[in-house]
Amino acid sequence: MSSFITKQRANVFFAIFIPVVLVAITGFTGRAGDGDDKPKIALRFHTEPDKRVKVATMRFGMSLPGLKNPNRPKEDKKLTEDPQGLTSTVCLRIDGEEILFGYPPGEWKEKEGKLPGGVRSVWRLPGKKLVIMQAVTVVKGSQTFAVDTCHIRYTIENRDDEAHQVGLRFLLDTYIGTNDGAPFIIPSEKELCQTMKEFKGEQVPDFAQALESLDFKKPGVIAHINFKIGGGVEPPGRVAFTSWPDPLLKLPGADAWMTKWKVPMVSIQDSMDAAAVLYWDEKEIPAGGKRTLGFTYGLGNFSANAAGNLGLILAGNFQDGSDVTVLALVKDAKAKETLTLHVTDGLARSQGAETQTVPIAKGEARVSPVTWKVRPLRAGTFAVGIESSTGAFHHQGVRINKK
């Protein structure tokens, strides 16, 4: 029996809440899931050479139209530091050679092909007979049901009569609303990533999230990176959270927008300029074969209680039979404080003890994460609640669709 309410009483309590479906504080407060098909993300591509970058790279930046930066009233808030994405780079590793996407010896076959909600760019390496397609589109996000997620995909096709070893590295220079150094919130981790961290293989998380502000009552923009998007798209085999490779760091390999394959690992606190680095290490692509890689980056959901000391993130594809991650955030956790998960009928806890001890936060953030996974048993609208041993409680609705 729960120390707060029995499961039966929890279901009665949650029944009052069920009509409120996934109401989230996202940067578009109250608009998530409202059926609005207007894109919440604006894309801008680097289509022509300029003073900083001498070739057209087709890198891309993301801004949030309608959300003004209070420090720069003429500018919108954004998700990448540079409006054209010049500081977010793609590097290919082909048979041991490192080549920046868009640079010689490659050449453009198509730069600005039209896609619904985005742009297709096709680049080829004549010597290797490799063709790389970059497809960037703005689509509906699984967390918010709004058009607020950028779907990024690379298809590498080998048109040679021999195999090639090919890998790809994507350096994402994050900028969360007005915050260039926001820490990353990573499921199953015991603390926020405020310094640096690398994950490999099965340890690569499903996603990472970041809040513009760790004030739960005013979190601002909520950014969400999904590393495992499914649909036949290969997820990264390595993910690193680090500082953007500013030459001022005076480290080998830190070469700004010309940084090649290996991005130096540096504490985010050293520069307050956070970045996520996604690696698809070299694999053989046989003659006539191809490799499709990708991820998504956009807005996510976050809700908090009125006191501002408990927050909740729900993430997944929200389909019947597929696990949903429940990531709770506790502000200023007390010694020996515990957190208990409650779910309504239709959801079943699949990972994580029902009651967990809240880790004491390190550093200035004073925010402690606790993670569970729940499995939907059927489609419908349900609720998830978290209860602290201090008496604090918070709940959020979740809509599960048919598979």
Interatomic CA distance for residues 389 and 370, integer angstroms: 14
Q: Is the pLDDT of residue 30 over 80?
A: no
The residue from 279, 299, 319 where one domain ends is 299
Are 288 and 309 contained in the same domain?
no
- Percent pLDDT > 90 in the chain is 86
Q: What is the arithmetic mean of pLDDT over 75-95?
A: 97
pLDDT at position 403 is 81
- What b/e readout covers 167-202, taking b as 16+ CB neighbours within 10 angstroms? bbbbbbbbbbbbbbbbbbbbbbbebbbbbbbebeee
Q: How many residues does the chain have?
A: 403
The residue from 274, 299, 324 where one domain ends is 299
Are 175 and 293 contained in the same domain?
yes
Q: Is the pLDDT of residue 27 over 70?
A: no
Are 110 and 254 contained in the same domain?
yes
pLDDT at position 37 is 86
Q: What is the arithmetic mean of pLDDT over 355-378?
A: 94
Are 262 and 323 contained in the same domain?
no
pTM: 0.92
The answer to whether the CB of 78 falls within 8 A of the CB of 65 is no
Interatomic CA distance for residues 185 and 197, integer angstroms: 12
Are 215 and 261 contained in the same domain?
yes
Q: What is the pLDDT of residues 101-134, one digit of tens each?
A: 999 999 999 999 999 999 999 999 999 999 999 9
pLDDT at position 18 is 37
Q: Is the pLDDT of residue 88 over 80?
A: yes
Closest CA to 173 of 299, 87, 65: 87
Q: Is the pLDDT of residue 262 over 60?
A: yes
Q: Is the pLDDT of residue 3 over 60?
A: no
The answer to whether the CB of 84 falls within 8 A of the CB of 46 is yes
Are 115 and 262 contained in the same domain?
yes
Torsion of CA 308, 380, 373, 177, to 10 degrees: -40
Tally of domains within the chain = 2
pLDDT at position 35 is 53
pLDDT at position 26 is 29
Residue 9: phi and psi, rounded to 5, are -65, -35
**Which residues neighbour 111 within 8 Å (Cβ) at sequence distance 6 or greater?**
47, 56, 58, 121
Q: What is the pLDDT of residues 183-238, one digit of tens each?
A: 999 999 999 999 999 999 999 999 999 999 999 999 999 999 999 999 999 999 99
pLDDT at position 308 is 96
The residue from 276, 299, 322 where one domain ends is 299
Q: Is the pLDDT of residue 25 over 50?
A: no
